[in-house]
Amino acid sequence: MAPAPVTPARSAGLDARIRKRFAGGFALEAAFHADPGFTILFGPSGSGKTTLLECIAGLATPDAGRVAIGPRVLFDSDRKISVPVPARSIGYLFQGLALFPHLTVEANVTYGLAGKPAEVRRARLKEILESFRVAHLGARKPGAISGGERQRVALARSLVTDPLLLLLDEPLSALDAIVKSKIIDDLRAWNTSRNIPIIYVTHSPEEAYALGERIIVLESGAILAQGSPQQVLEAPRHETVAQLAGFENIFDATVTAVREEQGTMRCRLGSSALELEVPLLRTEAGWATRVAIRAGDILVATARPEGISARNTFPGRLVSLERRGVTVIATVDSGVSFEVHLTPSAVEALGLGPGQQIWLVIKTYSCHLVTPAQKMTGLVDAR
Amino acid sequence: MNWPAITLSARLAFTVCALLLVLGLPLAYWVTFSRWRWKFLVEAVVALPLVLPPTVLGFYVLVAIGPRSPFGRWYASWSGHGLPFTFEGLVLASLLYSLPFAVQPMAAAFALVDPSLIHASQILGASRWRTFLRVILPLASGGVVTGGVLSFAHTLGEFGVVLMVGGNIPGVTQTISIAVYDQVQDLDFTAAHHTALLLLAFSFVTLSITYALNRRIWAVWPLHQ
């Protein structure tokens, strides 16, 4: 299929299919498509996110696969195509930013414009510095500006060459939320006119929620899930996704009863006697699975709740309360240990204190069934 | 003061230092960035003069450039005279002898350049050559200066190799260190003192300058952000 002539080259999507094995046994095997706009690449450290970006940019060579931006093929192992890094027209924001320490902000930003006429360089420099609000820093060196300013300069440097694709390797992880969201706003504004695919690597679920039109979850070199952030994170079918997405409670569970006509089933948690009603996933009693529950989705009552729609109400003993910022983290023993998040005012209103007998309330649909991750079994059992 | 020996030594040291900057930079670049599996052999050869007795190195160089070797015969038929006991012969021997003093500081400095800066340069469309000139060389300038200064100072002070290859011909191959040896042999301790002190002072000053320069480079920019 030939690309429509009216479509400008830079609103083309990225197609990547990459296979790469390493001597230590780690293997990366991933295939995905990224449309113009933000795509979040989400995964724990060591999952292969950076290697994936490096293969796309050409800094690492896949054993097999294909990388293309729209009709432009950058790598194809079958056809023995591998466009050299400097000719790929890709913007890459490194984790450490990699600003040239010996060059001024201006020289850093115009570095990629070598060979362009002086007036073009000047115009582009001015435009991009203004887009990212760093025009006043032109003569300074990277060592003499703040962390947020460095991020902005690095973004300006990656984008001044008008790349066809932007790769961001956890670039904003060190910044506070306000600085971060302002930079993202400027990046979005810049991309409304360019409309290029932006692959954004992060391990922060907040960032994934805030940014992504689309999210790809990577673990141990393989893609576990992809889709909209809501689809991927709110109904996590995989334990790694659940942990990354901030599910504080993850339990081993055994299916004890299946109520097919109701669309639910009952699961016994760990080795306790506690059973929860969860959404139906597999119709097989005795099947071992895991249940993930957000700490913020659990309600606390001081007496047994009556006339309530939630199907799971059970008693527990309040073991501890720990205030962290505006959240109170309660640990509750109900045969298994639950982490429950409350507001300070709720703790005050209920007069909660350690040792107290309370009731926990969990909706059926707050219980997410997840596929156990082989590698993390021990880690999760510690709960 | 033995001025012919001093000027000869200075001429030799400048020539060798200049040639080593030209030859040493690409060699150091290759040693740092090559992924060739037998690279360690080249590294060992480059470093050999550090541990080899100068007489051994000088002996082999003398044999290699002598009239019985193919290279010596070729050179003699090309230039009309042999290499042993000439200034050119001294230059060749000194190049080999001072090679590690130039290459090792340069390679060490290249290796300290953050690889992500080199990657960033490539991503921004720069060729290897431009990356070298604009990123690697400026950030490794301390090591390059050190390599140059060390090879200069080391050539100035060499004795064994020069004696083996060049002999002791005043005005042609008699360097400053050989002159000191000559003066002591002649029991002319006053002259030997002057010459030796000159070498000592010079070596100390160049090394001090080198270390001071390198220190300032570290102070201006910490290695990692």
Q: How far apart are the first and last CA of chain B?
A: 52
Place of tokens 């082999």: B60
- pLDDT tens digit sequence for A208-244: 766 767 889 888 888 888 887 667 766 667 777 776 6
Q: What pLDDT, on the 0 to 100 scale, is given for residue A244? A: 65
Q: What pLDDT, on the 0 to 100 scale, is given for residue B169? A: 82
Nearest by Cα to A339 from A292, A377, A301? A292
Q: What pLDDT, on the 0 to 100 scale, is given for residue A325? A: 79
Main-chain phi, psi angles of B66, to 5 degrees: -70, 170
Whole-number percent of chain A with pLDDT over 70: 88
Determine the residue among B35, B112, B116, B123 to mutate to test chain A binding: the one whose Cβ has the most chain A Cβ atoms within 10 Å: B123
DSSP letters of A33-84? Answer: EE-SEEEEEE--TTSSHHHHHHHHHTSS--SEEEEEETTEEEEETTTTEE--
How much is the average pLDDT of A294-302?
92
Q: Which two tokens stand for residue B123?
A: 């991503």
Q: What pLDDT, on the 0 to 100 scale, is given for residue A215? A: 86
How much is the average pLDDT of B203-223?
68
How much is the average pLDDT of A85-100?
93
Q: What pLDDT, on the 0 to 100 scale, is given for residue A379? A: 32
**Residue A273 has what DSSP assignment?**
S
Whole-number percent of chain B with pLDDT over 70: 95
- pLDDT tens digit sequence for A323-334: 887 889 999 999
How big is chain B, counted in residues?
A: 225
Chain B residue at shortest CA distance from A150: B225
- Chain A neighbors of B120, CB-CB under 8 A: 92, 94, 98-100
Nearest to A86 among B126, B134, B224 (CB): B126
Determine whether the interchain pair B120/A102 forms a contact, defined as Cβ–Cβ distance below 8 Å: no
Main-chain phi, psi angles of B144, to 5 degrees: -70, -45
d(CA B159, CA A293): 79
- pLDDT tens digit sequence for B94-133: 999 999 999 999 999 999 999 999 999 999 999 999 999 9
Q: What pLDDT, on the 0 to 100 scale, is given for residue A235? A: 65
d(CA B144, CA B142): 5
- Chain A neighbors of B127, CB-CB under 8 A: 86
Nearest to B127 among A86, A99, A142 (CB): A86
- Whether A90 has its CB under 8 Å from any CB of chain B: the answer is yes
What Rg, from alpha-carbon coordinates, does chain A have? 25
Residue of higher predicted confidence among A246 and A190: A190
Sheet holding A81-82, edge to edge: A81-82, A72-76, A64-69, A14-21, A27-34, A222-227, A214-219, A37-42, A197-202, A165-169, A90-93
Q: What pLDDT, on the 0 to 100 scale, is given for residue A119? A: 92
- Whether B127 has its CB under 8 Å from any CB of chain A: the answer is yes
Task: Give chain A's mean pLDDT.
Answer: 85
Asked if residue B5 has pLDDT above 50, the reply is yes
- Chain B neighbors of A142, CB-CB under 8 A: 225
Strands A288-293 and A275-279, how do they pair?
Answer: unpaired
Chain A residue at shortest CA distance from B219: A143
- pLDDT tens digit sequence for B175-189: 888 889 989 999 999
- pLDDT tens digit sequence for A18-47: 999 998 889 999 999 999 988 989 887 788
pLDDT-wise least confident of A100-104, A151-155, A179-183, A207-211: A207-211
Place of tokens 């004795």: B159
Asked if residue A8 has pLDDT above 70, the reply is no
Asked if residue A377 has pLDDT above 70, the reply is no
Q: Is A198 within 8 Å of A166 (Cβ atoms)?
A: yes
Q: What pLDDT, on the 0 to 100 scale, is given for residue B158? A: 87
A-to-B residue pairs, Cβ atoms closer than 8 angstroms = 67
Asked if residue A370 has pLDDT above 80, the reply is no
Asked if residue A287 has pLDDT above 60, the reply is yes
In which band, very low, low, confident or very high, does the pLDDT at B222 lie, cut at 50, 70 and 90? very low
Q: From the CA of B27, how many Å to the nearest CA of chain A? A: 24
Give helix then strand counts, H and E, for chain A: 10, 21
Asked if residue A350 has pLDDT above 80, the reply is yes
- Whether B135 has its CB under 8 Å from any CB of chain A: the answer is yes
Determine whether the interchain pair A92/B120 forms a contact, defined as Cβ–Cβ distance below 8 Å: yes
Residue of higher predicted confidence among B49 and A207: B49
Q: What pLDDT, on the 0 to 100 scale, is given for residue A236? A: 67
Phi-psi region of A46 (alpha: psi -120 to 50; beta: other; left: phi over 0): left
- Whether A91 has its CB under 8 Å from any CB of chain B: the answer is yes
- Chain A neighbors of B139, CB-CB under 8 A: 101-102
- Chain A neighbors of B130, CB-CB under 8 A: 114
HEC-encoded secondary structure of A315-381:
EEEEEEEEEECCEEEEEEECCCEEEEEECHHHHHHHCCCCCCEEEEEECHHHCEEEECCCCCHHHHH
- Whether B115 has its CB under 8 Å from any CB of chain A: the answer is no
| Whole-number Cα distances in Å, B217 to B124, B139, B146, B150, B214 | 26, 9, 12, 18, 5
- Helix (H/G/I), strand (E/B), else coil: A252: strand
- Whether B120 has its CB under 8 Å from any CB of chain A: the answer is yes
Q: Is B159 within 8 Å of B178 (Cβ atoms)?
A: yes
Q: Is A160 within 8 Å of A128 (Cβ atoms)?
A: yes
Task: Give chain B's mean pLDDT.
Answer: 88
Count the neighbouring beta carbons within 10 Å of the beta carbon of residue B3. Answer: 7
d(CA A376, CA A220): 11
Asked if residue A177 has pLDDT above 90, the reply is no
- Chain A neighbors of B114, CB-CB under 8 A: 96, 98
- Chain A neighbors of B117, CB-CB under 8 A: 98, 100-101
HEC-encoded secondary structure of chain B:
CCHHHHHHHHHHHHHHHHHHHHHHHHHHHHHHHCCCCCHHHHHHHHHHHHHCCHHHHHHHHHHHHCCCCHHHHHHHHHHCCCCCCCHHHHHHHHHHHHHHHHHHHHHHHHHHCCHHHHHHHHHCCCCHHHHHHHHHHHHCHHHHHHHHHHHHHHHHHCCHHHHHHHCCCCCCCCCHHHHHHHHHHCCCHHHHHHHHHHHHHHHHHHHHHHHHHHHHHHHHCCCCC
Count the neighbouring beta carbons within 10 Å of the beta carbon of residue B88. Answer: 16
Interface ipTM > 0.90: no
Asked if residue A289 has pLDDT above 70, the reply is yes
